[in-house]
Structure 1
């Protein structure tokens, strides 16, 4: 790289172009390859019915289908799908337990133990009809009528066509071989399959969805002697293999072979070797509902049920954004890089190369997030907390941090920039592991993560206070720079991912508190040097914010007003919870900033008593840290801890700062790994939602493997993590450059002088004609189009007008986002 060249140039030519254009090609290739490779199961329906494993091998509650995320249906969601429909089960006692499990989704209090055993059953709950026909051989008169050609007789017998039909047969043919045995079962299966799969019309005349359950695997050591003698594993294996052959021949009929995988991994969940616990059968019921209902439920964030579910189609706003980043920006890049015949008009319209590259990088990153979390291109999997995985991942990043330690020769100030970046870095890695493993259910870990989030807000209060106190810069440029830098990625994602702004809670929190700090410091800013006045302002600000957030009705009215004028629907309860948890910590950060400034003014560190103060501060801080760890671990649950958090979170934070700066060596030593992550922390925090995690943080993105535990789980973790951090690194650079571009006092497009070795001055307009001679861009003022462009430039060079236009554009998009 030439000395003095910007980061995007190598020998004064673009470097990032190699990454952005190749990334575009790679994404398109992956998309095409994925579509071709998965076209036999694009929505993971077959994966749901045929493969999976338990992520919790001991409790058997978290079933992971191959390559997708399964929804756990509750009463509301099941009733929403099945309302006014009929559910029909035909078979023996093994399928009857599944029948009861499906009923309990709608009516959890039903008593199934008092129901007759070998007889038909009929129930109606919440306008849903449930029928069970006792027919272990699938050869009764009612079954023949249902599967026969006399559909009128079928309607008369069964009232109306079932939405879900589940049939099962096999074990009774083995138990009572005098009724035909395996050969008799095969003949009956042939007849049933032939009737159902003769044509799509015949299939759907019987039911909306038809399942033929596999012959259940048995736990022989728990079977009664009479059952164990007649029902062998070998015969059951032969019958299921026959079902696999028939299913391949007849595509329409679905056989959920995964039922046997579930019980094979949970053999201890049965007492008689034949019938399994409610928890296991409930998973089988969820599989049926996922297959039948997922695609019928409302398609809105979070998109956490990805099995047998089609993602919603693009809205007009999403499509428009894709056109900008995949068509218009690449055209601009092509013109700047490869077009040597400069057009004077285009030179004034198209931004500089560096801005185009930043826009392209930014756009490709967002599009990658969309394809990762809003399409079926990549697989998704459930999270599962496991102490082994959590501990190992924590050790890995701690070891990386330790081995990248470096010490500066010059003594660094208290809470210096490298130290705060390092602090953000290791906290961010902790939060990433916490989210990836799904550790929120563990109170002790959750409570610690709450302290880390509070630490970010503490630093926000500390940093902004010191800036406003020392610089006294309350101009529009400062506000816009901070707000755009914090929100640029988040706001675009709300449109591209069709999510809620508050969903990315960290950005709204830091933005809200920035405005609180700004207003607090701006009012009568000329008197900020008065300690009494400044502390009084901070106390009054804290009181007002506390009142607005916690008093019922105020936030509700504010959010209702916003809904009316901007068409946004924010969750008041969620926002109140987020702000309330850390309602004091920002003011503590401001107060610490003020104390440090006064320490410097009065040169406290040069006083004789400073050594004593320092020694006791370290001792007290160590005691406080030990006390806090004991306190947060001993709370009975995270909800109890949350009651204390707003009032005690500052204790471990301040104690950590004191201990971290307790010696010169500690103050001057920082971790390169943690500092690197800390500098990208904003993009990493937001980007993890869609390109590392998946399903809007409810699951994990799977690029390699199928999401199940094992070797490929680790490979997928390393692959997705590398891509994730790589993209976030360049996303940080792009976002910073775009923020500077948006917030500049003037926006003027630039171009290199052909033949020049120096990059263009970003503040100077330089346009070149075909003979490499500069020309005055005013010479064509008589051109009407040129006059319009001149007017637009004058308007857009005004920061207030520029920001107002952006706000108006967002307002218009919000009003019409769900209408077109």
Structure 2
């Protein structure tokens, strides 16, 4: 019987090529520099130049826009938090998004860590009570039902105590006896609730009761309050823990919240007016802000409440979304420096100074400069003969020339190293300096849909027929990698991870990459039975060389760029499975048993915590890696079966006869269609990502195999593929990695933004400008990566060079 033909380029089904020797010369064509060239390439080159000019100009003004020209840290923070707008995510309540910095979204653990051991007091009317409730909610505390106009107290995690004092006229406090601070003890003042607790944060909020009952008393109240707080204020402790011995460390007076007069009831409408609100806030400015008092009046709250008329039912009390956003802004001011000030990279850019570039990062960049730019210049000058006269001028120059010619890389290799160095330097500038603004993502379903459509349109417009009719042929798999990569890019950029159905589909796409890893490597090893060091080394280096360069430059763990290490882990298992007893690989029972044993061993490693913990501990001792086993275990568990599904699919493709396939083709198509329908229903009914993750390892292999069957259901489907998606597929690894710090920012949590007003500063223009540069950088890097791999671990390179590079990285880890 005739067996189904395996694609002769089956090894190319991997996310990246393996070796230059075994692979036809193909690359991700760089539309910005490749000569000859089409109108599209010229247009892209022009677009890249324009985008680069816009970004360079934006770097000149970014700092001034971000800080509003302020000089003090407090003023800069206020300017950053004030410059924002209300946005409307599709998956959550309205949010206040800052325009010039990435604000933290505080969760229970961060709030607990920031306020650990502190006592927080809210004093005033219902607006103070609302913030007391909001902080309790942020700490995961349930508010007990109590009388509205009464004091309230809660004890939270990490020794935090919350208190609310009903004091709408701010007249319960005086110098000798205050509800929020009381005299007592040899150590001085103490907290009123529990002896020894630290009243480190006090928030006052009042005004509306004055308007209705005592219009002229507001000024006197705030002046008295200002003076009393001054006596108990401990200045200069903003960046440390809340450790003031019973004294007030931070004190705030909220601006008087605006009212919506048209929504007020008849009893409130005559006295609660915006004119009165504006007058009271002007008095706060005059008697508190302008006199350099110890009480802060956050200006960002005025900005926050400037457009909230739709978020109140009675014209006075605002919805929970307003309350929660106010608290989050205040926590960004209070806690960002405390929690993230030492190293804010990847966490926040509001109210913190950017980390200084470490000496190790500078040395890494210097290495790229010496072995890249300088070496390339030297080799170029030598080749063109421009150094001929200089080298003959002295004996010392001749010796230097001989030394450089011996130890510097070749002209081509140094050029490629310079390209990588320029790329990671640009990443460092974008994501580790204040020269480029970073802002929060915003998920809006219409935007997500339009971006998916924009990515799909050129793909379908460039469909073309090819001659290859083999199962999962090269054109198909490049196309598969391409459209999946585009979907992942849109998913990351729009922040769609909180939408369970979208998350589930993206997880299947990641599983598909790993399926191709198992399929492609199995097909190669099964057909060629070749297990050389050069092949294994080149695959591993190709997967991780860019990740390593980025990790050392950006001061990150290489596992942070998880895709290369993830595929590397599974490649090693495929290699070991096929290598052990490879002389018997043509025996079907023997091979199937090997695959089952390999799946069992790898499952045990990723399922039993001490296995991976021990492995990572050993690597840490030997190579100073400091890898987090828990995160790796999570990713490995999610897809611990799909690689073996790929191996079994490749085995079936090699063994099944054409007659058998023809006989069962329709059954397979209908079964695969049913799988897709069932999966769609399952995803739609799955309530959360956690629930989906528990089923994903067992569901995804079935879905991926069903896709391969449907994709190859007819000869037309096998021969047709999209040229655009195929081009993207050839760059898929570089696109995935470069997005971290070029298109995205804050270590993928945020996005890069332009600091301009109007259309030029709109999210759409920013996406296009940074997106064009992102594609250009990724394609440049993709064009040189394989040559770098060949230099380190190619078939013609001594294995000692490969070992030397690895040893140098280990030594650098110890120096780091």
Match of 1:176 among 191, 206, 213: 213
Residue 694 (structure 2) pairs with residue 643 (structure 1): yes
Q: Deviations over 1:432-465 (max 9, x none)?
A: 2222222222222222222111111111111111
Displacement of 1:739: 0.9
Aligned equivalents of 1:247, 1:592: Cα separation in 2? 73
Displacement of 1:545: 1.6
- Which residue is 2:459 aligned to? 401
Residue 782 (structure 2) pairs with residue 732 (structure 1): yes
Q: Deviations over 1:259-308 (max 9, x none)?
A: 35545555455454323344532322222121011111155687233221
Aligned equivalents of 1:648, 1:517: Cα separation in 2? 21
Distance 1:639 1:34, change over 3 A: closer
Aligned equivalents of 1:478, 1:57: Cα separation in 2? 47
Q: Secondary structure at the match of 2:537?
A: helix
- Which residue is 1:621 aligned to? 672
Aligned equivalents of 2:344, 2:578: Cα separation in 1? 38
- Which residue is 2:805 aligned to? 806
Aligned equivalents of 1:173, 1:696: Cα separation in 2? 48
Residue 111 (structure 2) pairs with residue 78 (structure 1): yes
Match of 2:348 among 273, 288, 305: 305
Aligned equivalents of 2:765, 2:53: Cα separation in 1? 24
- Which residue is 1:234 aligned to? 275
Structure 2 alignment gaps of length 5 or more: 1-28, 37-41, 192-196, 239-243, 389-400
Aligned equivalents of 2:772, 2:667: Cα separation in 1? 44
Aligned equivalents of 1:255, 1:375: Cα separation in 2? 29
Aligned equivalents of 1:265, 1:18: Cα separation in 2? 41
- Which residue is 1:743 aligned to? 793
Q: Secondary structure at the match of 2:738?
A: helix
Displacement of 1:424: 0.3
Q: Deviations over 1:633-652 (max 9, x none)?
A: 23344433333333332333
- Which residue is 1:756 aligned to? none
Superposed counterparts of 1:100-115, under 5 Å? 100-106=133-139, 108-111=141-144, 113-114=146-147
Match of 2:83 among 31, 45, 51: 51
- Which residue is 1:286 aligned to? 328
Residues 226 and 288 in structure 2, CA contact (< 8 A), matched pair in contact too: no
Displacement of 1:428: 0.9
Q: Deviations over 1:490-515 (max 9, x none)?
A: 12223333333333222222101111
Distance 1:667 1:444, change over 3 A: same
TM-score by length of 2: 0.79
Residues 428 and 685 in structure 1, CA contact (< 8 A), matched pair in contact too: yes
Superposed counterparts of 1:445-524, under 5 Å? 445-524=502-581
Aligned equivalents of 1:22, 1:224: Cα separation in 2? 56
Aligned equivalents of 1:121, 1:652: Cα separation in 2? 53
- Which residue is 1:576 aligned to? 633
Q: Secondary structure at the match of 1:381?
A: strand
Q: Secondary structure at the match of 1:228?
A: coil
Displacement of 1:488: 0.6
Residue 384 (structure 2) pairs with residue 331 (structure 1): no
Superposed counterparts of 1:265-664, under 5 Å? 265-267=307-309, 269-298=311-340, 299=342, 303-326=346-369, 329-337=372-380, 340-342=386-388, 343-408=401-466, 410-599=467-656, 604-605=657-658, 607=659, 611-664=662-715
- Which residue is 2:717 aligned to? 666
Displacement of 1:91: 4.2
Distance 1:394 1:157, change over 3 A: same
Residues 196 and 202 in structure 1, CA contact (< 8 A), matched pair in contact too: no
Number of equivalences: 741
The 10-residue stretch of structure 1 (155-164 or 316-325) with the greater mean CA deviation from structure 2: 155-164
Distance 1:144 1:98, change over 3 A: farther
Residues 295 and 309 in structure 1, CA contact (< 8 A), matched pair in contact too: yes
Aligned equivalents of 2:163, 2:688: Cα separation in 1? 42
Aligned equivalents of 1:19, 1:346: Cα separation in 2? 38
- Which residue is 2:393 aligned to? none
Structure 1 alignment gaps of length 5 or more: 1-5, 747-796
Q: Secondary structure at the match of 2:387?
A: coil
Distance 1:260 1:19, change over 3 A: closer
Structure having greater relative contact order (Cα 8 Å, sep ≥ 6)? 2
Distance 1:226 1:439, change over 3 A: same
Residues 49 and 256 in structure 1, CA contact (< 8 A), matched pair in contact too: no
Residues 55 and 754 in structure 2, CA contact (< 8 A), matched pair in contact too: no
Match of 2:100 among 67, 90, 95: 67
Displacement of 1:396: 1.6
Residues 345 and 355 in structure 2, CA contact (< 8 A), matched pair in contact too: no
